[in-house]
Homo-oligomer: A and B are copies of this chain.
Amino acid sequence: MKRTRTTVIDIARAAGVSKSTVSLVLQGSPLVNEATRAKVSAVIRELGYVYNRSAANLRQAKSGIVGIVVNDLTNSFFAELAVGMDMVVQSAGYVQFLANTGESVDRQREVIASMREHGIAGLILSPARGTQISDLKPLIDSGIPVVLVVRNLPGAKVSSLLSDNYAGTLQAVEHLVGLGHRRIAFMGGYADTAVFEERVRGYRDALMRAGLPSGDDFIFNSAPSRAGGVAVVEKMLLRAERPTAAVCFNDAVAFGVCDGLRAARMEPGVDFGVVGFDDVIEAKTAVPALTTVSVDPQGMGQRAAQLLLKQINSERAEPEAQLLSVRLVVRESSGIGKNVRNREEHA
């Protein structure tokens, strides 16, 4: 249709002012007279002008774009995290590149490189498994603020926002011990991640404090997914001495464990106690409702975005490590008071 896009000069001509004035109007500068501002604004609307941000931030070095890179959007924890970030990023007038790495470091490298070329003002990264600090070196050196979220990269000189994994599983185990369980398993997750390590440490310490054996017998690895949870139950049922309850690596695994239990004709929350981790949105409405360590992924996403924006807006910002406290939300799956729904605090 349009041969050439309408530019600030076209507006200027049509409004009978100079391009500089139009630019001033565009930026909402107080320098311009009310009358001219109105006139110019009218012309802008009339001609259907669209601002060219590429051109703008070629001149000024600010970009209005933030990058968000997550390792698995299919996992609803990360999806909610992304949604939380999206909210504050949009509201702040930024727009986001959101990319999914699917746990591939290669893809991660590619997308980060691509984002840099497009000139992002900052990056929020939930690193893929196996990410090295060196992978981020050039990015960090360039001075672009980076916020690590969910997963840490120990040694990297960047901000991070992590949940208190250790405290979470600690509380979860204490809860189960309080219910009388003595053989408590840890189910799901890959052993080579920092998150896993922290959660298992909380699990072990809690067992120790309770005077229970804390060997590795009851630690079952699996993919951190629903399917992984199902598989893990099958493995568990082969054991001579079975656990009577489990703290799961995350909610996805916990749901899988519930599925697996039912497939074996056991009722989660009755025959076996299940505690999750994350408190994804379905945890509350599932049947049985999931007892879980609440991380509030959406809130976490918001905080991460806020942290990044803060860093972007203050030059020379020191890296800042935030630890998000968690709390155990007791619902039904851990085994007390089925049908006692009012135990849940937030309606």
Contacts and interface: CB of A to CB of B under 8 A. Distances in A.
A213 to B, nearest CB: 31
A284 to B, nearest CB: 8
B95 A97 contact: yes
A53 interface: yes
Contacts of A53: 117-119
A52 B117 contact: yes
A98 interface: yes
A74 B96 CA distance: 17
B79 A74 contact: yes
Given A143-B1, A285-B259, A90 B111 contact: yes
What does DSSP make chain A's interface, helix, strand, loop or mixed?
helix
A346 interface: no
Interface in A101-146: 102, 107, 110-111, 113-119, 138, 141-143
A50 B86 CA distance: 26
A347 to B, nearest CB: 12
Q: Which of A64, A73, A258 has the most CB of B within 10 A?
A: A73
Interface string A278-311: 0001100111000000000000000000000000
26 contacts: A50-B116, A50-B117, A52-B117, A54-B57, A54-B119, A73-B73, A74-B83, A76-B76, A79-B79, A82-B100, A83-B100, A86-B99, A90-B110, A90-B111, A95-B97, A95-B111, A96-B97, A98-B98, A98-B99, A226-B285, A227-B285, A230-B285, A259-B285, A260-B287, A262-B287, A263-B287
A15 B54 CA distance: 28
Interface string A60-77: 000111000000011010
A75 to B, nearest CB: 9
A80 interface: yes
A135 to B, nearest CB: 14
A204 to B, nearest CB: 29
Contacts of A235: none
Copies in the complex: 2
A239 interface: no
Interface string A245-265: 000000000011011101100
B117 A100 contact: no
Contact of A86 (B90, B100, B114, B287): B100
B73 A82 contact: yes
A89 to B, nearest CB: 9
Contacts of A118: 53-54, 64-65, 95
A138 B2 CA distance: 12
Given A1-B141, A115-B95, A116-B50, A259 B281 contact: no
A38 B35 CA distance: 58
A281 B74 contact: yes
A68 to B, nearest CB: 8
A48 interface: yes
A138 to B, nearest CB: 6
